[in-house]
Chain A
């Protein structure tokens, strides 16, 4: 191979390269700082690296789409996903400040794993090749398995890591098997070539559908579609909350990005076959997620089931499979990043230093004790339930609109009904904050980093809602 090819269009992966170099620097600095307990410095460095990565993404933003070695592409969608993942990463670092002793002891490991996960997630959005896709998936999954178990004093955290790892490995095998079958069917690992082969009637068609089925399982696991969602509440609840906040957004963005691209670039010729089962999965996921969330008393578990329901809503975009639907999905993920991380941020504040969980009762009377915190949480809850004019409403609105345009009005109706159900459990938190008396003292684990994160996320949720057009223009679909 001509080595010059290695450098041609390498700017496509500039943000990933910047972060990869950054991780190495971070590790070296960590070694240099050994035994000095300097997690603050490391966190600042991690933020700097992520901001540099964001700068690199913005640098290549305006350029025409280019492909690197037939494996990664820089188009508007890839860049939108990068933006979401980087935002999740930055907040992940900010929220983890002064939270867990083990993070403070081993800041270097924590932050480099987090950035590695970010790299994998970003790569997932750019992959145009099954092998790159699988590598990206494994990069961020492995990092997340370890991050979930980072609270080593808490058995629940370790349990979460073990469960996530075992089930994730199980799902990965399906995924890689599906990819192999698709390779067999299409004669290539490149999406574009698979599409060309299949749409011209060539290839081994008997392998295609089993390939799709197995691939769906892999993706379904990562984005928590019912019935592949069972790990979600356990892992979200058990993992350290900053990690939960980060992965709930990052994983969803990355996995949906990969999912949308594979299905719409490599397999559009089989739309008829895969759209129907995905529609059923979307309905199942929204309904089971919302109904189960109704009965949760742990806020982290409630948010976990809520994230399952949100995955079902985003899946509607894939069922519609139009350019408008994919940009709606990008917008949804962008809005979801702020409101969901914000909600977990409030949980972190109430949780104290790494206690592991927050029951709903803890929110009682928050409105009187900490009004600004309560207002922020109310904004997140109302946005998650899709009340206008907050960010979450427009995410839902754009997706349902895309579905109606694609003649899937019935799916949009079920989506709207589900968001009506979801109002119940989001509102219960609001009611607890404003309509209940506090029992005992509310301890508040505030710090500059977390206050800053909550302020930014709250403002973002409101601003995105008031000026959705601006962001919808910025975020591109396929």
Chain B
């Protein structure tokens, strides 16, 4: 494993070469350097995988010490890599999907003004993400955590000069993402402090070995703080609001960072710290409920969105909710399994959506203006359909097995969680196929859009075929009763406490299959069959319209994202800004205004300054000082 550090070297070199020499390399050169760097990183990850597989099953955890990073008093944090089944799985997903998306991005970003900057950021992101998943201690993980946050911020705001109705100012979307994430980071940092005081180390192995020293209360506090961090990064309730806006970034970024990799960091982090969660059952319950409710809420919003990327964004939030539900009920291996299959099919969906956007005039994303695009983009249609089918969990596709594993464990934990999950799965199948049918089927609803639509070049479809194959057969990583991946991960995330009886497992598999097909069928009935209204939008067959009509009263709420942004603005953002404004008015404004008036007195500089001294400001300051003295004296001397 001595070569493991190379995994960091390649993306770091890629970013540096493109930063300093990119201008001379030209588009092709930049693209080759960036994609090549990630591909090489992927090869190193493959090497790590085989190196690890060569080891005895129970000793599959290798620490590669790079250098002594911090050593202050009794506090040590090495710069070291922990290579175990969990981190290798993540590294493979990050670099594998990452490499494909890098290749795709070369076509997608062709001719963009800031081509060079884009790939510098993208390689930097891969580096930070690898630091996050491969660090062997909390501080190193936090460095990666902040690094991916920064990369995400820079990439969401990539089109900083744009503005439209769907996203507002694009630059604001980046800021929102960063700030919301800072709330989560706060939880992370405090959790690390608590762990350090409680256990006396921040190195994963030592923390987990000494975790017994934590009381249940302390472990619960730590886990809830970690959960706060995860809700920020993985876009869960209550901090999910940044992710839909993050779609303002270029589509490859949405695919890589805001679907396949970065947003799953919270899930990874919880799986990584599973030992602590074992000590805090309450925190696990909270995580499970947060996950289930997020999955439901986001899926319901996805039903009503008309922006193709936003549908996928809410779908991502919903799927992350499934994963959170999985880690919450202790099905760590299944959560990671779902994380991996989700990376395949969601990256596929986003990139296919990117092709749609690329192929339509003005980068159109409104599905109400699409329809019958399969005539113009047959390849993209097939790719999107495969992704949607995997997302919907149609039987035997990758999403089917991974989602089912989570639901199985949820059913054992609390039947209510299972029912929420199952209902969400129905919604998932419905909105997935709604997106397919509205976009690619039916009649063209906007002639102008349809006429100019064209298929994308091979560089933008070839990588998608790889993802499509993975989305189709990715379930084979962990077939029921064969359980290869689950078993592989057990060395890193422990065995689940629960093993379902075979009949129960079969029954639940069958139920899931029926639900997925029902959702897809309902979407078919609603969006393909039946009459059309005057704009060409389908009215739906009688039966399907009848079923979906039941939920009509809720539609307004869902379409407005349940007013979450508005509530946050009213409860948190505005009061905080109000407070800032108040400080500003009371403390600052008088001074600024005064100073501006003063500029008129240049000729009488000294006199002006003295007048200033007499016009009330210095006495005000002195008064504030004096009040401070009085309060301190009262407190210290008279004990008030």
How many residues of A are in contact with the other chain, CB < 8 A? 76
Q: How far is the CA of A423 from the CA of B177 in the complex (A)?
A: 12
Q: How far is the CA of A213 from the CA of B153 in the complex (A)?
A: 46
Q: How far is the CA of A476 from the CA of B621 in the complex (A)?
A: 36
Instruction: Tell which of A162, A210, A237, A467 touches B633, judged by Cβ atoms closer than 8 Å.
Output: A210
Once A167-B622, A434-B154 are accepted as A-B contacts, the answer to whether A324 and B591 lie under 8 Å apart by CB is no
Contact call A295/B157, Cβ cutoff below 8 A: no
Contact call B633/A412, Cβ cutoff below 8 A: no
Contact call A221/B625, Cβ cutoff below 8 A: yes
Q: How far is the CA of A155 from the CA of B598 in the complex (A)?
A: 8
Contact call A166/B618, Cβ cutoff below 8 A: yes
Main secondary structure of the interface of B (DSSP, over half): helix
Instruction: Tell which of B69, B160, B178, B193 touches A423, judged by Cβ atoms closer than 8 Å.
Output: B178
Residues of A contacting B175 in the complex (Cβ-Cβ under 8 angstroms): 427-428, 431
Residues of A contacting B68 in the complex (Cβ-Cβ under 8 angstroms): 469
Once A170-B625, A431-B174 are accepted as A-B contacts, the answer to whether A388 and B139 lie under 8 Å apart by CB is yes
Query: For residues 411 through 464 of chain A, which have their beta carbon under 8 Å from a beta carbon of chain B?
Result: 412-413, 416-417, 420-421, 423-424, 427-428, 431, 434-437
Contact call A435/B160, Cβ cutoff below 8 A: yes
Q: How far is the CA of A434 from the CA of B120 in the complex (A)?
A: 14
Q: Which residue of B lies closest to A162 (CB)?
A: B609
Once A295-B580, A387-B146, A427-B175 are accepted as A-B contacts, the answer to whether A324 and B196 lie under 8 Å apart by CB is no
Give the Cβ gap from B170 to chain A, nearest Cβ, in Å.
Answer: 8
Q: How far is the CA of A389 from the CA of B143 in the complex (A)?
A: 6
Contact call B69/A416, Cβ cutoff below 8 A: no
Once A163-B618, A292-B583 are accepted as A-B contacts, the answer to whether A155 and B602 lie under 8 Å apart by CB is yes
Contact call A409/B194, Cβ cutoff below 8 A: yes
Give the Cβ gap from A124 to chain B, nearest Cβ, in Å.
Answer: 21
Residues of B contacting A216 in the complex (Cβ-Cβ under 8 angstroms): 632
Contact call A233/B190, Cβ cutoff below 8 A: no
Residues of A contacting B618 in the complex (Cβ-Cβ under 8 angstroms): 162-163, 166-167
A-B contact count (CB 8 A): 191
Q: How far is the CA of A129 from the CA of B409 in the complex (A)?
A: 69
Q: How far is the CA of A213 from the CA of B629 in the complex (A)?
A: 7
CB of B636 within 8 A of chain A?
yes
CB of A152 within 8 A of chain B?
yes
Contact call B186/A295, Cβ cutoff below 8 A: no
Query: For residues 245 through 282 of chain A, which have their beta carbon under 8 Å from a beta carbon of chain B?
Result: 273-274, 277
Q: How far is the CA of A164 from the CA of B473 in the complex (A)?
A: 73
Give the Cβ gap from A304 to chain B, nearest Cβ, in Å.
Answer: 10
Interface size of B as a range: 35 or more
Contact indicator per residue, chain A 306-349, by CB within 8 Å of chain B (1) or not (0): 00000000000000000010010000000000000000000000
CB of B504 within 8 A of chain A?
no
Q: Which residue of A lies closest to B582 (CB)?
A: A291
Q: How far is the CA of A267 from the CA of B14 in the complex (A)?
A: 56
Contact call B580/A434, Cβ cutoff below 8 A: no
Instruction: Tell which of B161, B581, B632 touches A217, judged by Cβ atoms closer than 8 Å.
Output: B632
Q: How far is the CA of A233 from the CA of B628 in the complex (A)?
A: 18
Residues of B contacting A228 in the complex (Cβ-Cβ under 8 angstroms): 624-625, 628
Q: How far is the CA of A473 from the CA of B581 in the complex (A)?
A: 42
Residues of A contacting B161 in the complex (Cβ-Cβ under 8 angstroms): 435, 437
Once A155-B602, A228-B624, A404-B197 are accepted as A-B contacts, the answer to whether A469 and B71 lie under 8 Å apart by CB is yes
CB of A196 within 8 A of chain B?
no
Contact call A416/B186, Cβ cutoff below 8 A: yes
Give the Cβ gap from B181 to chain A, nearest Cβ, in Å.
Answer: 9
Q: How far is the CA of A436 from the CA of B68 in the complex (A)?
A: 40
Query: For residues 565 through 610 of chain B, which have their beta carbon under 8 Å from a beta carbon of chain A?
Result: 576-577, 579-581, 583-584, 587-588, 591-592, 595, 598-599, 601-602, 605-606, 608-610
Contact call B605/A158, Cβ cutoff below 8 A: yes
Instruction: Tell which of A227, A233, A237, A397 touches B625, judged by Cβ atoms closer than 8 Å.
Output: A227
Give the Cβ gap from B129 to chain A, nearest Cβ, in Å.
Answer: 15
Q: How far is the CA of A420 from the CA of B179 in the complex (A)?
A: 8
Give the Cβ gap from B455 to chain A, nearest Cβ, in Å.
Answer: 33
Contact call B613/A162, Cβ cutoff below 8 A: yes
Instruction: Tell which of A217, A273, A428 touches B629, judged by Cβ atoms closer than 8 Å.
Output: A217
Contact call A158/B606, Cβ cutoff below 8 A: yes
Q: Which residue of A lies closest to B620 (CB)?
A: A230
Q: How far is the CA of A116 from the CA of B143 in the complex (A)?
A: 41
Once A228-B628, A295-B581 are accepted as A-B contacts, the answer to whether A167 and B621 lie under 8 Å apart by CB is yes
Instruction: Tell which of B71, B194, B588, B624 touches A296, judged by Cβ atoms closer than 8 Å.
Output: B588
Contact indicator per residue, chain A 377-404, by CB within 8 Å of chain B (1) or not (0): 0000010000111000010011011001
CB of B635 within 8 A of chain A?
yes
Give the Cβ gap from A256 to chain B, nearest Cβ, in Å.
Answer: 18
Q: How far is the CA of A300 from the CA of B171 in the complex (A)?
A: 24
Contact indicator per residue, chain B 533-561, by CB within 8 Å of chain A (1) or not (0): 00000000000000000000000000000
CB of A362 within 8 A of chain B?
no
Contact call A324/B580, Cβ cutoff below 8 A: no
Query: Could you tell me which B residues sit within 8 Å of A by CB distance?
Result: 68-73, 75, 139, 142-143, 146, 150, 153-154, 157, 160-161, 171, 174-175, 178-179, 182-183, 185-186, 189-190, 193-194, 196-197, 576-577, 579-581, 583-584, 587-588, 591-592, 595, 598-599, 601-602, 605-606, 608-610, 612-613, 617-618, 620-622, 624-625, 627-629, 632-633, 635-637
Q: Which 5 A-B pairs have the closest CB atoms?
A: A435-B160, A295-B584, A230-B621, A435-B171, A213-B632
List 10 A–B pairs whose Cβ atoms lie within 8 Å, in order of A's numbering: A155-B608, A166-B618, A171-B625, A213-B632, A220-B628, A277-B636, A288-B583, A295-B580, A394-B70, A435-B160
